[in-house]
Amino acid sequence: MKNFKYFLFVISSIFVSCGDDTYSIEYNDKEVKTPVSVTVDSRDRVALDQHLDFAVTLSEAYDVDAVITVAAVNSCGDPISHLKETSTGTATVTAGSTTGFGSLFFASANKGHVPAGSWDGLVDCAVLSVTGIALSEGNDPYVASENSTPVTVIDTESDYMAIDDDAVVIVMDWKNPGDNDIDMFVTNGAGTAFYEIAETGSRYEGDYFDNDSDAYYPAPDGDYIVWYVPYAQEAADVPAELFFTKPVSGEVVHIPFTIPTGAPLAYTPVAIITKTTDEEGDMSYEIAAY
């Protein structure tokens, strides 16, 4: 089985000012500031070293391309700021447009710190920030004032968040694993044939779907259903989530859900994987909530 956790985003508003041609992300109070609204869009639960897609949206279009830099800053595990770990990604907003898309791999653990091993994760020690706006021509760049969005860092099970060359890596997590035992299964679209079975009885359930070591590999094109079964459940709603890491690219799809109080000991569909293969034999996967 495998473990793996996940990630985040929100609306950030920053002020930028038009400067000279020397790149800087330092705030310069003498420059004329132009308000720019930036949206970083995704979950607010993240795992170390995990791939995150984000979108940025400017409040106004520019006449030239603009490159927006987003940083993941992780200081979990040590209060000394210079020991923080940082990773960055960029999104290009083309001339005349207001939206761009980018990705990054969330910052590694600070000083080798491993996040708390509970559903709640670590708070108040990691942020996403828009740190720079650079124009492709003219006075450049715009300068972003300090602005950040807090995120929750959750622990991971490295085997199940690793990027695989030919498999969709799946991990399911839920709250209070000491009181709840949830199993996970993947079947064909009709629900008549099992492709993956994960029923370990411990926290997390994980598996590799369509791996070249599987007896059925490659799986036929079509739909596959991901199910959960509450083998044991406390007398309460149980929040849970699924993370799917796509092969090669490492793109992560996050699907949160709730197992309701008194859920029957039965198969409940929660996600669907759609596989397609192109004329060159390249396989791709689309994943969505059921």
Q: pLDDT per residue over 54-101, tens digit each?
A: 888 777 788 899 898 888 988 887 666 567 889 999 999 999 998 889
How many angstroms separate the CA atoms of 253 and 245, rounded? 7
Owning domain of residue 241: 163-289
Asked, for residue 2, whether it belongs to a domain, the answer is no
Q: Lowest-pLDDT range, 18-27, 80-89, 207-216, 250-259?
A: 18-27
149 plus 255 within the same structural domain: no
Beta bridge pairs of residue 254: 243
β-pairing, 148-150 with 126-135? Answer: antiparallel
Final residue belonging to a domain, choices 123, 154, 185: 154
Asked, for residue 3, whether it belongs to a domain, the answer is no
Question: What CATH number is attached to the domain comprising 123?
Answer: 2.60.40
Bond prior to 218 in cis (omega within 30° of 0) = yes
20 plus 108 within the same structural domain: yes
Give residue 31's pLDDT: 47
pLDDT tens across 113-147, in order? 666 667 888 888 888 888 888 888 876 556 665 56
Residue 264 has pLDDT above 60, yes or no: yes
124 plus 202 within the same structural domain: no
Residue 19 has pLDDT above 70, yes or no: no
Does the pTM surpass 0.85? The reply is no
Give residue 36's pLDDT: 54
Final residue belonging to a domain, choices 154, 176, 192: 154
**Which residues fall within 8 angstroms of residue 30, CB to CB, at 6 or more apart?**
none
Q: Per residue, what are the HEC states of 134-173?
A: EECCCCCCEEECCCEEECEEECCEHHHCCCCCCCEEEEEE
Give residue 239's pLDDT: 95
72 plus 132 within the same structural domain: yes
146 plus 71 within the same structural domain: yes
Give residue 6's pLDDT: 35
128 plus 198 within the same structural domain: no
